Amino acid sequence: MRKFVLTALSVFVVASLILSGCATPTPQTIIQTVEVPKEVKVVETKEVVVEKEVQVTPVPPKSYPRNETLYVSGAAWGPVSTWNPYQPGSLANATGIIGNVYELLFVYDPLSDKMTPWLAEEGTWSDPNTYEVTLRSGLTWSDGQPLTAADVKFTFELGQKYAAMWFANMWRYLTGVEAVDDTHVVFTFNDPLYQEFENNLYNIPIVPEHLWKDRAEEEITVGANEKPVGSGAYMYETHAEDRNVWVRNENWWGIDMFGKPAPKYIVDIRTSSNNVALGMVVKGELDMSNNFLPGVAELANKDYVQTYYAQAPYMLSANTAVLFLNTTKAPMNDAAFRRALAFAIDTPSIVNVAYAQLVAPASPTGLLPTLGKYVDEDQVARLGFTFDTAKAKQLLAAAGYRDTDGDGFVEAPDGSKIELRVTCPTGWTDWMAAIDIISTSAQAAGINIKDETPDYGAWNTELQGGTFDMTLNNWANMSNTPWTLYNLLFNHPIKEQMQSGNFGRYENQEMFDLVDALARVPMSDEAGMIEATSKIQELMLTEMPMIPLWYNGLWSQFSTAAWTGWPSEEASSPTLPTTWSGYWQLGGLNTLINLKPVTP
């Protein structure tokens, strides 16, 4: 028996040794073996050039040629598990499913602040309660079927049928969607929220009715939608534990209109840690990394990687990091205290030390630079805040916060001690460094704040359940309207669980009315929007229910080893260099159209 065990073992060992012997070929041998099928293939393609257009289902290649393949990472944080464009919570969404596979009526370019008609040719308000969309003619799904007004109607009506769709809420004010003919859709409203609706125009992906109409509710709301059929420039190729591959749709309707995206294949890589992404981008194996890589400024200065700006802040601003204050707890329920705290926080150090200049300090209004025209500079000059410890101390004293027991920290006006916690999820190293600076600088002003880093789950529970003292959050993306930010900051009505904003439960009907009023301003009425936003800013800066601190970057570093033509501030019409979910419809596809292979 013992002999048998040993024999079995040694057979295995020998087998493994042979395998491990195979495992040590030098890279050269591998490259050589790759090259052989490549040469063969060149001959093949030469021979079948005539047939190429007839071929409907191309045979999948065994390997992707480097000069036709774009390798990206930073969007996927887990093995891709769903291609459902309506799946909320973008953890395991396939990046590009919205925008590159399922398309939108419009796309919005935040850099030029322009809505570009996409599937739509144009959209107009024929009267305040009627919106008419004309679709482009000749739109097709990747299975060859035409994309018509019926598909648009079907898509929007999913929200009416199923309460679990994220845009179901739109049907509070949307009363009907009619397909007049193949290219005309009419939306009718009752008291429309223009800002929300026009934001949805570039966020609701249109799906094919002929493939979706027979699906059961659960299949539509939470189904994985494997092998998706969309109308966009890319189609599903394959996926594995650590990647999702898209292949270009050679028959895409938009090629004549917008141009052909340069990469034939997009390989979206799930890296397990940022270090892996960093190693790969420096080696030129990864063309674009949208991971947050601390210290990338150093690498950009030495030309190992390229970034959007050649100098600080290197990255575009993607969203605003806001310090939410729990206004249901003392002393955060006191506007004077909140304002004093705003002056106490050392944002310059967060920008320069915690981020090593990869980010920019935020406007006190919290509005992104792309929405700069809505910032009321007079209000900011009058009511804004800057880092000023002395001023913070003075404001605290004026509001009755004094150090009565001599421990170096102020007590509340009623004499009770103040001990607060500022939190962020553990492992988010940039935010951990930031809250450390927040607590240190607040302590210098006499406010006793300690930083804590709970698990993500625990942090999320505190955030949404409203049991935190103060915490960081940045859940409002780049947008065509300031309403998106205010929908996060002043989400209402206040519920027991606040899932999508106003985590500090700031309850002020005046503010809610102002935000609702903004939502009702037509997008074409820019003066009206500026006026409505200005009122919100004034109340926000006076009350300071939360404190905008800095702009988180649109983390993006790219390699010019295989592709050039990356977006940069010097480009004539730059686009967003990102693969993050929710950003493709902000013109991300144009980035791909502008790319050029180094070796054609």
* Residue spans of alpha helices (H) in 213-334: 217-222, 255-258, 274-282, 296-301
Cα(first)–Cα(last) distance of the chain, in Å?
Answer: 63
State which residue, 89 or 144, has the beta carbon closest to other proteins. Answer: 89
State which residue, 83 or 374, has the beta carbon closest to other proteins. Answer: 83
State which residue, 312 or 476, has the beta carbon closest to other proteins. Answer: 476
State which residue, 24 or 57, has the beta carbon closest to other proteins. Answer: 24
- Closest CB 1 distance from other proteins, rounded Å: 5
Distance CA 100, CA 585 (A): 8
Distance CA 44, CA 157 (A): 48
State which residue, 135 or 523, has the beta carbon closest to other proteins. Answer: 523
How long is the chain? 600
Give me the residue label for tokens 């669980």: 497
For CA atoms 500, 503, 508, 510, give the dihedral sign: negative
Residue type, 88: P
- Closest CB 231 distance from other proteins, rounded Å: 24
- Closest CB 263 distance from other proteins, rounded Å: 13
- Closest CB 467 distance from other proteins, rounded Å: 10
Give me 212's structure tokens: 């979706």
State which residue, 266 or 332, has the beta carbon closest to other proteins. Answer: 266
- Closest CB 587 distance from other proteins, rounded Å: 20
State which residue, 393 or 492, has the beta carbon closest to other proteins. Answer: 492
Q: How far is CA 137 from CA 178, 260, 585, in A?
A: 18, 19, 21
Residue 42: CB atoms within 10 A of its CB come to 10
State which residue, 185 or 488, has the beta carbon closest to other proteins. Answer: 488
- Closest CB 129 distance from other proteins, rounded Å: 21
Helix (H, G, I), strand (E, B) or coil at 266: strand
- Closest CB 427 distance from other proteins, rounded Å: 8
Q: How far is CA 73 from CA 61, 64, 236, in A?
A: 22, 17, 17
Task: Enumerate residues 6+ apart whose C-beta is below 8 A from 326.
Answer: 332, 466, 467, 468, 469, 470, 503, 504, 505
Cβ(326)–Cβ(498) below 8 Å: no
- Closest CB 3 distance from other proteins, rounded Å: 11
Cβ(276)–Cβ(269) below 8 Å: no
